[in-house]
């Protein structure tokens, strides 16, 4: 996205530079002819001032317009990201860490506790058996979050022989299972999500 905006700014700058050069060249080449017309001194003076204003204005536009487009592009980029804060409650104890894995809509099929395509954050567990992780400058979009208490720091969620999770876990949206549509939320501003592990 940034590359496309930069290319657009450069193209606009080139076009303005070309137009400015063409106009200035025409005005300078025809200045004597414009001023030598049968007109009074005041008219000639005004024509000269108009030519000067045109050249000056073209130069100002040439300098300022790319800056405006660049600032607008950067502002747009800044407006397209925000911070997502995840507060996790009810860890079993203070051993290990909390593992949070954020999945975008593009990786919906991989949603779960595996890292496939996920943006991972690791959080320390405080004295209240809670934790906090932050996703800075996260692009706007639809996401789903899976969290678990990784008490042995294996970065894996193990299951029992009966298919039950061995570690406490939770999902965004209060989802009870690893289903992207159930855990999905729209992210378009600074946001805080609270998850209680089960």
pLDDT digits (tens, 9 = 90+) for 135-147: 999 999 999 999 9
User: Where a domain ends, among 24, 53, 79?
Assistant: 79
Counting residues of the chain whose pLDDT is more than 70, the rounded percentage is: 62
CA–CA separation, 120 and 33 (whole Å): 71
Domain residues for the domain of 86 are: 81-196
Is 2's pLDDT higher than 60? no
Is 6's pLDDT higher than 70? no
Asked whether residue 186 falls in the same domain as residue 136, the answer is: yes
CA–CA separation, 137 and 190 (whole Å): 9
pLDDT score recorded for residue 40: 53
Task: Indicate whether this model's pTM tops 0.85.
Answer: no
CA–CA separation, 122 and 130 (whole Å): 13
Task: Label residue 49 by pLDDT band (50, 70, 90).
Answer: low
Three-state DSSP class for residue 122: strand
Asked whether residue 156 falls in the same domain as residue 191, the answer is: yes
pLDDT digits (tens, 9 = 90+) for 71-110: 555 555 555 999 999 999 999 999 999 999 999 999 999 9
pLDDT score recorded for residue 66: 55
Counting the structural domains of the chain, the total is 2
Give yes or no for a contact between 133 and 121, defined as CB atoms under 8 angstroms apart.
Answer: yes
Q: List, in sequence order, every beta strand (DSSP E) within the chain.
A: 81-89, 97-104, 119-123, 131-139, 141-150, 169-171, 185-187, 191-196
Asked whether residue 18 falls in the same domain as residue 115, the answer is: no
Asked whether residue 67 falls in the same domain as residue 27, the answer is: yes
User: Where a domain ends, among 79, 96, 130?
Assistant: 79
> In CATH, what number is assigned to the domain containing residue 162?
2.60.40
Asked whether residue 168 falls in the same domain as residue 104, the answer is: yes
Asked whether residue 58 falls in the same domain as residue 135, the answer is: no
pLDDT digits (tens, 9 = 90+) for 177-187: 999 999 999 99
Asked whether residue 55 falls in the same domain as residue 122, the answer is: no
Asked whether residue 153 falls in the same domain as residue 119, the answer is: yes
Three-state DSSP class for residue 139: strand
Q: What is the mean pLDDT of the chain?
A: 82
Is 57's pLDDT higher than 90? no
Lowest mean pLDDT among 21-30, 60-69, 88-97: 60-69
């Amino acid at each position: 996205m940034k590359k496309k905006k930069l290319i657009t700014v450069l193209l606009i700058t080139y076009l303005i530079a070309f137009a400015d050069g063409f106009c200035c060249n025409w005005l300078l080449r025809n200045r004597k002819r414009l001023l030598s017309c049968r007109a009074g001194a005041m008219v000639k003076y005004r024509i000269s001032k108009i030519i000067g204003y045109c050249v000056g204005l073209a130069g100002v536009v040439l300098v300022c317009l790319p800056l405006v487009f660049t600032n607008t592009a950067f502002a747009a980029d800044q407006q397209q990201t925000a911070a997502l804060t995840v507060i996790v409650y009810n860890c079993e104890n203070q051993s290990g860490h909390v593992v949070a894995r954020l999945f975008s809509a593009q990786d919906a099929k991989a949603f779960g506790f595996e890292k496939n395509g996920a943006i991972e954050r690791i959080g320390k567990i405080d004295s209240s058996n809670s934790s906090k992780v932050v996703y800075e400058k996260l692009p706007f979009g639809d996401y789903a979050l899976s969290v678990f208490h990784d008490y042995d720091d294996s970065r894996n969620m193990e299951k029992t022989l009966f298919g039950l999770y061995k570690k406490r876990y939770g999902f965004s949206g209060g989802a009870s299972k690893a289903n992207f549509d159930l855990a999905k939320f729209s992210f378009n501003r600074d946001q805080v999500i609270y998850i209680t592990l089960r």
